Structure formats: structure tokens, C-alpha cells
Structure 1
């Protein structure tokens, strides 16, 4: 093989390919990774054939070379896994404050939109809505305080909710009303 005898290399390949593949698979538990390692081992052997010292036991030499290839593969996999975990942990630590800040900005923007929308409601509509939401008064109590019928209170609050939902959406309205009213 050192002298360029192609047939000598083919004999080594045919004789040891399958046992090396089986050995690599047992260690890596991946057919593709095992094939890649064994193929790489034979390519390296062929490329470096003139540099390799005299080999008394080709089996011993090939299995030892494979052992180091497998160890390098496993070490690389472990290092990549640790690095990935580290990057993911750093990414989570970096992303959390940004996501919290972003959510806070969105919340403040929605609060502002809702507050502005409440202030733009017609006077009687706004008054009925705020009495209902701020003071938790019943429609009957609001009607007595404002000097209007319960039916009118229902219509005023319904109108307020339609206007506000149009301004900020159902989900945000339901979530933010308790907080916005506190800040009014």
C-alpha cells in the first residue's frame, strides 16, 4: 500500500470496513456518523499512506485510529452541546429583560390609548361607564345618581364599551380597564 499498490488498499478496505463500521456504530449509536468516521479513516489512510510507519497489525492500527476518531467525535459533540446550552441560557437571560421591556412598552401604549378613548367618550356615556367601573355601582344606583332610567344607563355603558372596543380591541379592553381606571 505504501508503494501505491491499489489492490492492497482495497483488500484492507474490504476486510475491515464492516467490523470498523460496527464498532463505530456501537460507540456513536448513529449509522451516518459511524459511516462518516470509517470513511474518513480510510480516506486519511489512503492520503497519508506514504507517511504511515510500517504496520505489523493492520487490524490493531485501524481500530486504534478509529478509537481516537470516535473519541474526537464524542468530545466535539459534547462541546457543541455544552456551548449550545450556554448560548441558549445566555439568550434567555438577554431576551427576558428585552421581552419584559417590550411588553411594558406595549402595555403603556395600550393604557394610553384606552385612557384617551375614555376621555373622548361623550360626557354622560363616560360618567355612566366610570361609575360602573370605578365605583362598581349597579345600573340602578347609577341611574339614581345621574337622574336617568336604568335602560338609559345600560345603553350609555353599552355605547361606551362599543367605542372603547373599537379603539383598543376586546382582549385589551377587558384586561386593561381595571388598571386604567385606577390611574384615571
Structure 2
């Protein structure tokens, strides 16, 4: 049995591209903890940090034979973790800004019972219409609008081009606009 701990990152990457599970395990053992610490320092949330690392390694294994790493393996992995932490932090800022805007709207007297009911109805309808989108449109919409991923990251995750990600998102938004047109006035009230 080979002792993979003696191989360089470059050699392990070559084995990984041939879907060598032992090489993958060595890469995982070598980099899981330092990447977790790196993500944890930025996010200050153990669950989010662990999720990022697990998702990255799942993606690495699932796309092992298609991986194109033009830098050192360590750089590739840490850059991926950095990008994911930045996406989470950006999403958290968007959620915070949304919450502040909504709170301000309520303070300004928009918190009437009718408007609350309408807002809940609109949210439920939007969620339903997103679930009714074709699978790829739904995935691109959720990754962009709810998870805050860039078109580049969506393209990498779904194995499509950035242009395809942009086009798919535009088609999804157009479909949602058409289906939700009667409720657009609610959007103007809450987000105007």
C-alpha cells in the first residue's frame, strides 16, 4: 500500500484527477484543519466554517477528473475558502441591510395589518413561484439571490458558463416578474 503522506501536492493532484480516493483522503487530512481555522477566523461561526470546508471537499471530489488547478493545490484550496467566506459575509451584510430597511419601513408607519398580510402572501407566492421554475433556473436564482453567489461561482458550482448563468438568471427574473406582476406594488411599498 502506498504511503500518500510522502507525496507532494502536485503528485496528489495528479492522483486525484484519476479519482484516487486515497490521494483525496491525504489532501483532506493535510488541509482540512488549517482551512477550517482560516474560515473560522473570518466567519466566527464553527458551523459555517465547517460547512464551507465540507462543501469545498465535496466539490473537489465530485469534479476531480475535471479539476483545473493552475496554481499550487494549497493556494487553490485556500482561495476557494476565502471566496466562500467573502460570499457569506456579503450575504450577511445584504440580510442586515434588508432587515434595517424593513425595520425602518415599520417605524415609518407601514406596519399595518393589511400590509403585513400582503407581505406574507407575496413572500409565500414568490417562494412558490421560485419552486415552480425549471430546475436549472431555480438553482441559479437561489444561488444568486438567496445565497449571494456571483455568476462566476454559480458557473463553477453548476458546471455552466458565466454567460449561461447570467442568461438563466435573467430568464428566471422575467418569468417571476410576469407571474408576480399584480404584487409588484407591494415590493415598492416595502423596498421602494
TM-score normalised by length of structure 2: 0.47
